[in-house]
């Protein structure tokens, strides 16, 4: 397994979870978003650019991301009116 040295301590690279924030402008971006989540990246997606362009496309995108998230054992939730967060398996979103 690949290993890296972080802060003087060895850690397996696979344990790293990253966070990425980006806008969603088109359905064509979904494969890259899914690929990132599969690589253990938490995605904060600003959905207002697509919402302003085409609300029906936005609904399809959110439904596809929801189904993807469930299928891999990840999680998905809204963050206010303009953002959603998608997490890889092993990361759950607190809902209080």
Question: Could you report the per-residue pLDDT of 57-93, keeping only the tens digit for each?
Answer: 999 999 999 999 999 999 999 999 999 999 999 999 9
Gap between the Cα atoms of 47 and 40, Å rounded: 21
Q: Residues with Cβ < 8 Å from 44, sequence gap 6 or more?
A: 19, 20, 21, 22, 79, 83, 84, 85
Gap between the Cα atoms of 59 and 7, Å rounded: 43
Give the pTM: 0.83
Question: Could you report the per-residue pLDDT of 37-61, keeping only the tens digit for each?
Answer: 999 999 999 999 999 999 999 999 9
Q: Which domains does the chain carry?
A: 13-87 (3.30.110.150)
77 closest CA partner among 58, 52, 94? 94
Gap between the Cα atoms of 45 and 23, Å rounded: 6
Rounded mean pLDDT, 17-34? 97
């Amino acid at each position: 397994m690949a290993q890296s040295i972080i802060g003087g301590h060895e850690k397996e690279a696979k344990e790293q979870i990253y966070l990425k924030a980006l806008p969603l402008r088109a359905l064509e971006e979904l494969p890259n978003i899914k690929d990132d989540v599969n690589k253990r990246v938490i995605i904060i997606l600003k959905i207002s650019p697509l919402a302003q362009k085409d609300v029906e496309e936005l609904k399809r995108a959110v439904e596809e991301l929801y189904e993807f998230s469930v299928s891999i054992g990840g999680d998905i939730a809204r963050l206010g009116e303009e953002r959603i967060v998608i997490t890889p398996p092993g990361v759950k979103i607190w809902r209080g």
